[in-house]
Amino acid sequence: MLRIILQRLILLPILLILFSIIVFWLIQAPPGDFLTSYLATVASSGSSIDDAQVEAMKVQFGLDQPFHIQYLRWMENLLHGNLGLSLEYQLPNSQLIGERLLLTVILALLSFLFTWAIAIPAGIYSALHKNSILDYFFTIVNYFGVATPNFMLALILMWLAFSKFGVSITNLFSSNFIDAPWSWARVVDLAKHIWLPMIILGIAGTARLTRIMRANLLDELHKPYVVAARAKGLPEWKLIFRYPVRLALNPLISTIGWYLPQLFSGSLIVATVMNLPNIGPLLLHALTQQDMYLAGSILLIYCFLTIIGTLISDILLAWLDPRIRMEGA
């Protein structure tokens, strides 16, 4: 067990270094840099900056250095916990990202819990009552859930809420709480707002996991050990929950590996549509403004979250399934 965790933890920095190179290369790729777009903005507003100033800014931001030097400087800063300075906001990136990162993680985790809370009971019910009305209902929801892009669902729900109830559901806080320090009242306010993005983000996954749970349980239900347990006179619900459900959950654990990362990056879309104070819209803005260090930091955070998601699923699987645990030993 410890061995597997250690193995994965050793892999973590290697992956992060590989990802950081890819990310840095990506944010470097656009022709021109932040200065060119900054100068264009300045020029369009009528004022101008002389060449000496431009040169000074280039040196200040390190834009005159070759690729690998810029990369190493960036990495050095990262290792010191310094995410660099946002070229556009002229603020430390860590300050810009700080709370937004927390909200990103909270939203993804809540969606994850929502998914499991719905998918497991729904999957069990569907498997036990195959071809019942509710089973068909879940099947239909599944097809539509998978076919509807996240942002489309957000748009439709926002429109319904607006046209039917006259409420505009955007942001994660009421206006008077947006910049307020954390307090109990602010947490309550967050809870009042976060449920809808949580559902929107989780619905597609819920639909898929319900199907997986249903299929897994159906495979288990007809195995001889179930018949044997039933023959011994075990009460039906006790039997179902004690044996086949536990076995059917195993493959579901392995879905965490792709589902949690998918929630992290999927929250970007919901956050953009619903204007949530999340790292998604910040990334989008940084990318269009070529604010490269900010974009790079956020991309690296997404990579990190993705790796963590896979790590959690690997460890959980090893903990639950002795076959996987023994393989590593």
Residue 231 CB burial class (10 angstroms; 0-12, 13-18, ≥19): exposed
Q: In the 8-state DSSP scheme, what is residue 92? A: B
Q: What is the DSSP string of 170-184?
A: -SSS-GGGTTSPP-H
Question: How far is residue 264's CA from residue 280's CA, in Å, rounded to a whole number?
Answer: 9
Q: Which of residues 163-222 bind another protein (CB under 8 A)?
A: 163, 168, 170
Q: Shortest distance, CB of residue 7 to another protein, whole angstroms?
A: 14
Question: How far is residue 199's CA from residue 258's CA, in Å, rounded to a whole number?
Answer: 18
Q: Shortest distance, CB of residue 28 to another protein, whole angstroms?
A: 9
- The stretch among 51-59, 60-68, 185-193, 295-303 that binds another protein (CB under 8 A) is 295-303
Backbone conformation region of residue 46, classed left if phi is above 0, alpha if psi is from -120 to 50, else beta: left
Instruction: Report how many residues bind another protein under the rule CB under 8 A.
Output: 48
36 counts as binding another protein under rule CB under 8 A: no
Question: How far is residue 184's CA from residue 258's CA, in Å, rounded to a whole number?
Answer: 34
137 counts as binding another protein under rule CB under 8 A: no
143 counts as binding another protein under rule CB under 8 A: yes
244 counts as binding another protein under rule CB under 8 A: no
10 counts as binding another protein under rule CB under 8 A: no
Q: Please answer whether residues 295 and 93 qualify as being in contact, where contact means their C-beta atoms are separated by less than 8 angstroms.
A: no
Q: Shortest distance, CB of residue 268 to another protein, whole angstroms?
A: 6
310 counts as binding another protein under rule CB under 8 A: yes
Q: What is the DSSP string of 38-59?
A: HHHHHHHTT----HHHHHHHHH
The single residue among 108, 122, 273, 276 that binds another protein, judged by CB under 8 A, is 273
Q: Which residues bind another protein (CB under 8 A)?
A: 15, 18-19, 22-23, 26-27, 29-31, 143-144, 146-152, 155-156, 158-159, 162-163, 168, 170, 261, 264-266, 268-269, 272-273, 283-284, 287-288, 295, 298-299, 302-303, 305-307, 310
